[in-house]
Amino acid sequence: MKSQFFLGYLSLFLLSSSFTTAFDITKLLNSHSEFSTYNSFLTSSQVAATINERQTITVLVVDNSGISSLSGKSNEVIKKVMSLHVVLDYYEAPKLQKLPNKTALLTTLFQTTGLANGQQGYLNVTASSGDVKFGSAVQGSSLSSSLVKSVASQPYNISVLQISSLIMPPGIENSNTPPAPKAAAPAPSKSKTPPSADSSSKSPSKSPPPESSDDKAPTSSKKASPPKASDSPPSPTPAAADAPAAAHAPAAADAPGGASAKKSSGSRVITSGVVVAVFVVVVSCFWVAL
């Protein structure tokens, strides 16, 4: 039971805190007719919706006479100038009058858009003898606007301060170069497509090599025909086969010659034996006669 009571109390506390942090810059300025033109520019440029999404912010407003310099400007320029007058921190008049270093560099909503060139998205603020002045952080810019008064505030969430005149950084009306890189982003994609076209053009160049390989194929077939000419030597090979027959013929001829030689040698041995025998008989007869 106690835990349920605690959770209910916590939810009510969080709900009440969420309501206290919510604010609407348009409603805050509706009660100040001297800022009606400024308020309409905030709404038409949709900067008011971005302000209401923030939790800690300071809005520098200019009365109707000071905002007249924006009349006739393009919607893009109006949005840049209006977002430049929104500081991404909570500042009240006493806090600005007691800056520790008498000066500070303030980051604005314009800096978060990615459209600011160089230091265009920052403001310089300087406090001297209780007088607070604002100016662009772009080099060479002057502190041309002064703090007039505090208009409205919800402590630590939103502070609305009136300044004497609009702050116009040099080149803010011509700072259209950041969108150009976005247009340049497609350009790399187009530059990538020609390489693919080149690769496709290279593919046909690679296809001719197969044709050259086909041309080499017939040459290989022409080389295959000489082996047929070399096949003609099989006719000599039968002749070579005949040659062994001829070789066998001399061998056969030599065979009878060898046999006759053996017979002649044998006949010679017999003849010599007969002669010896006759000689022995003659000698023996002669010996007997003696």
So what's the pLDDT on residue 130?
Answer: 84
Question: Which comes out higher in pLDDT, residue 273 or 201?
Answer: 273
∠ at Cα 46 (70, 52), nearest 5°?
120
Type of residue at 123 = L
In a domain, 225, yes or no: no
DSSP for 199-236, written as a single string: HHHHHHHHSHHHHHHHHHHHHHHHHHHHHHHHHSTTTH
From the number of C-beta atoms within 10 Å of its C-beta (0-12, 13-18, 19+), residue 258 rates as exposed
- Output the six-digit token pair for 222: 């022409």
Q: Give the per-residue pLDDT at 45.
A: 96
Give residue 49's pLDDT: 96
118 pLDDT more than 60: yes
Output b/e per residue, 190-206; b: 16+ Cβ within 10 A.
Answer: eeeeeeeeeeeeeeeee
Of 166, 136, 172, whose CA–CA distance to 66 is shortest? 166
- Rg of the chain, C-alpha, whole Å: 60
The mean pLDDT value of the chain amounts to 73
The reported pTM is 0.56
- For 104, phi and psi rounded to 5 degrees? -155, 155
Query: Shortest CA distance to 172 belongs to which of 88, 74, 104?
Result: 74
Query: What integer is the mean pLDDT of 151-165?
Result: 96
Of 106-115, 219-228, 260-269, give the range with the top mean pLDDT.
Answer: 106-115
pLDDT digits (tens, 9 = 90+) for 188-218: 555 445 444 444 444 444 444 444 444 444 4
The pLDDT, as a whole number, for residue 185 is: 57
Asked whether the predicted pLDDT for residue 235 surpasses 90, the reply is no
d(CA 79, CA 60): 14
Question: Is pLDDT above 60 for 232?
Answer: no
Per-residue model confidence (pLDDT) at position 43 = 96
Is 76 contained in some domain?
yes
Share of the chain above pLDDT 70, in %: 56
Burial tier of 164 (Cβ tally within 10 Å: 0-12, 13-18, 19+): middle
pLDDT tens-place string over residues 8-34: 555 554 444 444 458 999 999 999 999
Q: Identify the CA nearest to 163 among candidates 138, 145, 141.
A: 145
Token pair for 265: 């040698």
Sheet holding 122-128, edge to edge: 86-87, 57-61, 158-163, 145-154, 131-136, 122-128, 103-107
In a domain, 285, yes or no: no
Predicted pLDDT at 161: 98
Residue 201: inside a domain, yes or no? no
Residue 63 confidence (pLDDT): 97
Q: What is the CATH number of the domain that holds 172?
A: 2.30.180.10
274 found inside a domain: no
Domain that includes residue 156, residue range: 16-183
**Are 86 and 121 within 8 A, CB to CB?**
no
- Residue 290 in domain: no
Cα dist. 39→67, 176, 242 in Å?
Answer: 10, 25, 123
Mean pLDDT of 109-114: 96
Residue 216 lies in a domain: no
Question: Residue 121: which of 164, 162, 86 has the closest Cα?
Answer: 86
- The phi, psi pair for 46, rounded to 5°, reads 65, 15
Q: What is the pLDDT of residues 277-289, one digit of tens each?
A: 777 777 776 666 6
Residue 219 is predicted with a pLDDT of 42
Domain-embedded: residue 69: yes
How many folded domains does the chain comprise?
Answer: 1
Q: What is the DSSP letter of 129?
A: T
49-104 confidence digits (pLDDT tens): 999 999 999 999 999 999 988 988 999 999 999 999 999 999 999 999 999 889 99
Q: What pLDDT is attached to residue 279?
A: 74
Amino acid 184: pLDDT:
56
